[in-house]
Amino acid sequence: MKNIIIIAVFSITSLLMMSVSCVEHEVVPPPNNDIDLNAHFQAYIGTAGGGANQVEMTQNVSGYTGSASNTSIINASPIASQMVYSSRMSSFQQTKAIEIKLGALNWDAAVDIEPTKSMFADFHNGSASANILFSDQALNGFEVKYTDDSGMEW
């Protein structure tokens, strides 16, 4: 009888300890490397009358979206291939838009299919401190295309 009481007390104590000590585990999702940044453009754009209008575009405001693209010009070796980087803000609700092309990075397409990350970083870090000129197609400098309220491209 004494053994039955000891076993009963031990069983009840064990059940109580297990029910109290078991904590429901929280599932933590893995980290995500995505970054969601809103693009913003602000400038004074010259008018035909010699004045200037302030232009401002912000992603997710008035339907504006920001997009980036690359245009590659592949040449056979030994002629260097070129990659032109551009950024555009436009809207389906507004006619105003801006596109900026940021020069041409030269690289050997026979060695790499496209420029490496270190080439990209060196190109943009070097361009940040250089005096860059306007250039058609941004091959030797940079190019800015502005579309005004009437849809005219400048």
What are 81-97's pLDDT values in tens digits?
999 999 999 999 999 99
Q: Does residue 44 lie in a domain region? A: no
Contact in structure between 126 and 113 (CB atoms under 8 Å):
no
Q: Does residue 28 lie in a domain region? A: no
Q: Does residue 150 lie in a domain region? A: yes
Strands (E) in 1-130, as ranges, are: 40-46, 52-58, 64-73, 81-91, 97-107
Q: Does residue 126 lie in a domain region? A: yes
Q: Does residue 32 lie in a domain region? A: no
What's the pLDDT score for residue 96? 94
Question: Mean pLDDT, to the nearest integer, of 98-127?
Answer: 89
pLDDT tens digits for 6-56?
A: 776 666 766 666 665 556 778 888 888 877 778 899 999 887 788 888 999
- Give every CB contact of residue 60 below 8 A, 6+ residues apart in sequence: 38
Residue whose C-alpha is closest to residue 99's, from 85, 111, 117, 110? 85
Q: Does residue 67 lie in a domain region? A: yes
Q: Does residue 81 lie in a domain region? A: yes
Is the pLDDT confidence value at 101 over 80? Answer: yes
Q: Does residue 153 lie in a domain region? A: yes
Mean pLDDT of the chain: 84
Q: Domain of residue 98: give its range.
A: 58-154
